[in-house]
Amino acid sequence: MALRSSLPHMEIGDSDLEGWEVKGSGGFGQVYKVRHKKWWCDVAVKLLHCDDGTSSSLLREVKMMSKGSSPYVIQVLGVFKGQLPFPGPSVKLGLVMEFMERGSLFSLQRNLQGPPPWPLAFRLTHQVALGINFLHNLSPALLHLDLKPSNVLLDSSLNAKLTDFGLARFSQSVTRISKKDRDEEEGGTISYMPPEAFSISYNPTRASDIYSYGILLWSIVTGKEPYPYAPSSIVRFRIPQGDRPSLDEIRRLAAGLAGLARLMELMQRCWETKPAQRPNAHACTIVTEELYKMHKRAITDAVHEVLKKLVRNKSLVHMNQIRVERAHICEDVQTGRPPIQVRLTSNVLLTSSLRNDINKIIGSKHYLL
């Protein structure tokens, strides 16, 4: 099947793009920030690994992301097919998407070294819930199946949008997923997977996303990754047994912060072991909207505070890079006494006695000019 006739989006060639800059990579491929020459704006290009030599994986993700067109889901602008401006395979395929200037929620957590200010945290929980609710209300419903901080992207004002539909499924097309297929697809996100995913085989449902959303809520509030030091084999065993991230830190904070206790209650409902006991996405948005309204008045200051910190951190990184470069330069410069230069006229005969005198001077650490 021809690529051009199969895709609902315009095809964008290498001649349309310039200024390729790597922004991220993973098992799916690499993400670049590039400039579209005609549109005169930055876009993101996600190059895909097509191991079977076809465009099947590209077609599949375009189909998923096209269905998920929402203010809270990343927008696909076209399909890339062309050559890259550096060594590699002759022709690559990829998705051209809107560029999210502030990266992912995961990168924000690393830069802040903790959670964002509470007004922003509550807005993030609500916007992610809105994205999930939109996907789950499509006909048929679209299951994301890979919700985690790195798949929540942030625009210049730190608004959130869902991305990466490489594992997504339409609910009517979901079949039982074998353990082999699940192991190949989970992509290092085991700590966000629901208990039922660790059975020999299971049918993903909307409740699968809701469990992942509950763990994501915990990560947003704490600024941490769940089970950071636990081996994957232990996580696989303990999650179905009912183990969840610790709530001790959140309980301490909840006493003095409006809405946090209720948000903690929501995350616990979302990560219930039995899928039937978890709320649906619409119920989640009702709660998160109410909680965000409690803190909405301070959202502008919260965003400004974070953006200032990001700029300051970037400046510090740049200064450290300059220090390192200067240190390398200093290491390359030879130190010590400068070389001896003897200036003699052409008619001076360098006798043995003169050589001895010069050697004495050099030995006494004087310089002959």
Delineate the domains of the chain, giving CATH numbers in brackets: 3-98 (3.30.200.20), 105-310 (1.10.510.10), 337-369 (no CATH)
What is the reported pLDDT for 365?
44
Q: What is the dihedral of CA 129, 122, 155, 10, to 10 degrees?
A: 10
* pLDDT at 288 (0 to 100): 99
pTM: 0.78
- Over residues 227-266, the pLDDT tens digits come to 999 999 999 999 999 999 999 999 999 988 999 999 999 9
State how far the Cα of 147 lies from the Cα of 270, in Å rounded to an integer.
Answer: 13
**What six digits make up the tokens of 300?**
């502008």
Give residue 342's pLDDT: 46
| DSSP bridge pairs for 43 | 34, 98
pLDDT of residue 366: 43
**Which residues of the chain, if any, have pLDDT below 70?**
1-9, 26-28, 49-68, 88-89, 166-168, 171-188, 316-369
pLDDT at residue 333 in the model: 58
Q: Is 66 exposed, middle or buried (0-12, 13-18, 19+ CB in 10 A)?
A: middle
Q: What is Dmax (Cα atoms) for the chain? A: 105
pLDDT at residue 355, as a whole number = 58
Q: Is 112 exposed, middle or buried (0-12, 13-18, 19+ CB in 10 A)?
A: middle
**Catalytic residue among 16, 146, 164, 209, which?**
146
What count of Cα atoms within 13 Å lies in the side-chain half-sphere of residue 164? 23
Which is it for the CA torsion 76, 79, 85, 86, positive or negative? positive
Nearest to 149 by CA among 244, 228, 203, 235: 228
Rounded-to-integer distance, Cα 185 and Cα 13, Å: 29
Q: With the CA atoms of 194, 199, 204 and 207 taken in that order, what torsion angle do they form, in degrees rounded to the nearest 10?
A: -40
Whether 146 is catalytic is yes
Give the Å distances, CA to CA, from 264 to 180, 220, 269, 327.
34, 11, 9, 49
Secondary structure class of 278 (helix, strand, coil)? coil
Rounded to 5°, the CA angle 28-29-34 comes to: 130
What's the confidence (pLDDT) of residue 70?
85
Is residue 72 within 8 Å of 134, Cβ to Cβ? yes
Q: pLDDT at position 25, please?
A: 73
| Phi, psi (rounded to 5 degrees) for 182 | -65, -40
